[in-house]
Structure formats: structure tokens, C-alpha cells
Structure 1
């Protein structure tokens, strides 16, 4: 599996790998609080936050040929190819003066992961994984959509199942490399950020 991608070593990626970037993948199920914590990390640690979904939506809005193709694929219920999302992430990193990036909601599956490393030549510094129970995520998402609980519960469960099936292999892969930093995302926001800070502050800066 994924061999075609592995043979495509360093396609367009050289300028990015020369740039010496620090990349952190941010993963967690729908409602795990990724967005809130990414905003905190940006504010406290000076990272640039890149959301794969936001980049795809911005490309669609731009009206470019690429955007039209992405829109049509989404309309037809097809998955946007890894290379398309990776190109958008690459471009965003190249155009940004920063050298520290949080990539949120990507890689969504093993194929995304293999393609990203192969195309960009970048291996993430680590993976920040917001671990949250299905019950808690359900509660949070239903809280956002008040009054329509019966309409949404099935959709929420479907989203959760898709996430579990596709993203868990990515987390397991990086865990085997010692690169996963698991955060208990069930706790209150402030406590979750304390745990996040402990991951980002280099050990020599930590107070005793």
C-alpha cells in the first residue's frame, strides 16, 4: 500500500526542506477542542496555524481552476487527492515567513501521511493528539447545535466513526516512532492548555 507515493521522493519539495521548518500535526476527533487549543498555541508559542479544510475552502473561493476542481470533487462526494491538499499546504508554508507550523486536521489517513512526507521531505516534529471520549465529543457538538439533537446525533456518530477508522492508523504509526504527545482533552480548556504548554516548552525552559 502507498508504494506509488513512496517512489515519488522529493517532488517539488526541495525548497521546503531547505527552509528547515518545524511542523506539528494536530489530530483529534470532531469536538475534541483542536481549534481552541491551536489558537492558544499560536498566541503563546508563535506558530502559524494551517487548517487543511480552511485552505481547501479558500482555494474554492478564489475561483481558480484548482478551486473549481476541488469544489466539483466535494460536490460529487469524492475525496480530494492527497497531492492537492499537500500542494496547498506547501504553498502556504513557502509564502509564510514563519518556520513553525501547526497543521490541523491533516493527515486524515495513512495515504495522506505517506504522501506528505514523500512530497515535502518533512517529517513532523511530533503529533499533538487530543484524546477525547466519543461521549464527550458528542455532548460538545450537540451543545453547539442546540435544539436539533435528533437531526445531528447520527451525523455526529458517522463523523466520529470515519475519524476513528482513518486517523487512528496515523496516530499508531507516529506512536511507534515515539512522536505522539497525547493530551487528555476531556478536561476543562485551561487544564488542557496547561498540558499542551508542557509539551511545547523545551525542558530547559521549564521551571522546577
Structure 2
């Protein structure tokens, strides 16, 4: 049985986590994992791990990133599928993916899975900028020009994905400008309701 069949058989439930850079996705994902028992998969982390592994696939990904190209959807989706199959859990938060409409369509096409819902961290640009500049975690991409470019990419590419799922009634929007604990209170309500529905 191929990966698709196995994921279906496993009854995998997926929640996409979207939000601009600095909207607090990582922090809240860690909370959701702790309280609701989901497994957190970050598309970026999986790609970085694949590059580190030194595999042929990893070398190809590294070269594409070096050349400023977008890694093909199929490559990222295969890594996500593999991670979901190798994990004993059946509830996954997928963070930072789909980045655009093409990613979204390819994910549903390849995995035959639609997300249960999309958790969207809505945060004003000024607030995200303030957080990113303040966090100084040694990420060399946290300077003002790069940050603004990342916002632009997010707005142009990822918001259409949010709009698409919004039309299907699948977006759960959270005001991410609030303090971390307040944001998690909102997140808890969403996930508690979801759990009640027999997830």
C-alpha cells in the first residue's frame, strides 16, 4: 500500500497552522502539543533535516534554496507524509505549510487529506516586526529588509490559502497580537471544541 493509502488507513487528522513571521506560531504549537497531544511538524525543519542528512534529496533541496528557488510542493509533501507515517500519532499540526495555493492543491491531491481546520494567527505587521527585531535568536534573516520581504511573501502567497479555507468554513482565526497566555486561551477553546467532535 502506498503512503496515501496508509495515511488514510491511519485516520490521520491534520491542522494547518498559518500566520506571518513573528505571529507566535512556534510558541503556540508547543502549547498545543503539550495540552492536546498533537505532533508538531514544521515544513522548514523537515527540509533542513533532509539537507543535514546529506541524502541526494537533501543536496537537491539545498541547491534549490541556494539559488533562491522554491522547493517543489511534492518534495515537501513527501517529507511530511514520511514524518506522519513514521510517527505513532494520528493528530498533526503542520506549521508553515501550505505556503501558497499550489502547495495547498498539491497537498490535497497527493495525500487525499483535507485539513480538519486551519489555525490562523492574525497579527498586525508592526507587532510581528517588533517581535522579530526583539528576539535576536541569532537568525540572520531577522533584519528589517528581510523581515519586510517575508511579510510581503506571506501576504501574497499564504493569504489566498487562508481565504480558500475560509470559504469552506475551515478557518479558526486567533488574535495573535495579545500576550502569549491570552492567545493560548483562545487556542484552547478551538481545540477543546474540536476534541469534543470526536477527533
Give the TM-score category using the shorter length. Answer: over 0.9
Tell me the equivalent position of 1:37: 28
Which of 181, 189, 194 pairs up with 1:190? 181
The Cα shift of 1:17 comes to: 1.4
Which of 97, 107, 123 pairs up with 1:116? 107
**1:113-132 C-alpha deviation (Å, 9 max, x unpaired):** 00000000000000000000
Tell me the equivalent position of 1:98: 89
**How many residue pairs get matched?**
191
Which of 156, 162, 166 pairs up with 2:153? 162
Alpha-carbon distance in structure 1 between the residues aligned to 2:9 and 2:168: 23
Which of structures 1 and 2 has the bigger CA Rg? 1
**1:145-170 C-alpha deviation (Å, 9 max, x unpaired):** 39xxxx82111111100000000000
SS class of match (1:127): strand
SS class of match (2:143): helix
Tell me the equivalent position of 1:72: 63
Alpha-carbon distance in structure 2 between the residues aligned to 1:200 and 1:153: 34
The answer to whether the 8 Å contact 1:50/1:89 transfers is: yes
Alpha-carbon distance in structure 1 between the residues aligned to 2:195 and 2:187: 16
Alpha-carbon distance in structure 2 between the residues aligned to 1:145 and 1:35: 15
Alpha-carbon distance in structure 2 between the residues aligned to 1:22 and 1:29: 23
The answer to whether the 8 Å contact 1:24/1:101 transfers is: yes
Alpha-carbon distance in structure 2 between the residues aligned to 1:59 and 1:37: 25
**1:150-200 C-alpha deviation (Å, 9 max, x unpaired):** x82111111100000000000000000000000000000000000000000
SS class of match (1:13): helix
The alpha-carbon distance between structure 1 residues 180 and 204, as it changes in their structure 2 partners (threshold 3 A), is: closer
The Cα shift of 1:202 comes to: 2.6
- Unaligned 5+ runs, structure 2: none
The answer to whether the 8 Å contact 2:25/2:121 transfers is: yes
Which of 53, 56, 61 pairs up with 2:44? 53
The Cα shift of 1:14 comes to: 1.8
Instruction: Please list every run of at least 4 consecutive aligned residues from structure 1 whose deviation after the TM superposition is greater than 6 angstroms.
Output: none
Tell me the equivalent position of 1:175: 166
The Cα shift of 1:51 comes to: 0.2
**1:76-102 C-alpha deviation (Å, 9 max, x unpaired):** 111100000000000000000100000
TM-score using structure 2 length: 0.93
- Unaligned 5+ runs, structure 1: 1-10
